[in-house]
Amino acid sequence: MRVVLAHGDAPRRRQLGGILVRVGHVVAEAETADEAVAVCRRVPTDVAVVDSDLCRSTGDDALLHAIKGDAEAFRTAVVLLERETLDLDAAVTALHRGVQDFLVEPVSDGELVTRIAAAARTKVLQEELVAQSRRLETLIFEDPLTGLANRRFILTQLGSLVSGARRHGRPLSIAIIDVDLFKSVNDRHGHHVGDQVLVAVTGALRSHMRAEDHLGRLGGEEFLSVLPDTDHDAATAAAERMREEVAATSLVHEGAELGVTVSLGVATWEAAEPAELLLRRADDALYAAKDGGRDRVACARASVPRRT
């Protein structure tokens, strides 16, 4: 375990450090609050044992803020060395600011070792909980094959962006993308090759996405691209670029080159139009692209007659 020991009294610091080294910990000593923060930032630290006087000397517990507010050091468990005069309000305030535990002086060697070990175990459990939460979020929101947003998440994003477009009067367009003749790929070459095709198409589509654009997999061989701040002409041009990029993509299977194409249906949001109707118009345009010979872009008709 890596421990930072921050104490302004050199003899006491060496004494505590010697105990921790004796049980196998790697100890870095710090005399000031700034030194303690610098060590925690520089080297991944499991536990920082900090004398409470150093916190008070920095004013308003700036040392705790510096550690817990740092992108790397915040993972460090902080144990405060306190005096017998520690009161309830001060303890609760310190806990709210990120302190893991307290050691009230005078502290025995055994208590020092066991409480630091407990703080380190709690830190590990917290990190495992965070990692598990991230894995759960991935399962909920991400398509496992392509790494794109899954159907539920991309449709949720679309709903939010339609609300934003309505509120701010900004343009918004979408494109539904379908891999041409995908069933025949699966039937002739197997689903593992079909998966490779979907991954390759994902990469091609992503290469023409802006940072603010969204791309998700609706299911099977169908994708949805959501293009904020994009009017009809810009959306049509973006869809053409995506189509061309996919058409330029090829896979080699058993010595033969597999060409891949997509058809796209583009629709631009109209005032007061719900997300469901926008999707339906894009889907109708997609079918028109398929009926027109595939490997092409078709644009949706207006949902309501336009005034001249």
The residues that are catalytic are 221
DSSP state of 173: E
Q: Which residues of 264-280 are buried (b: 16+ CB within 10 A; e: fewer)?
A: bbbbbbbeebebebbbe
Measure the CA–CA gap between 220 and 9, rounded to whole angstroms.
66
Measure the CA–CA gap between 262 and 247, rounded to whole angstroms.
7
Measure the CA–CA gap between 174 and 229, rounded to whole angstroms.
11
Measure the CA–CA gap between 176 and 155, rounded to whole angstroms.
12
Measure the CA–CA gap between 119 and 110, rounded to whole angstroms.
14
**How is 194-239 classified by DSSP, letter by letter?**
HHHHHHHHHHHHHTT--TT-EEEEEETTEEEEEEET--HHHHHHHH
Q: Is residue 254 classed exposed, middle or buried when 0-12, 13-18 and 19+ CB atoms within 10 A define those classes?
A: exposed
Residue 106, preceding peptide bond in cis (omega within 30° of 0):
yes
DSSP state of 300: P
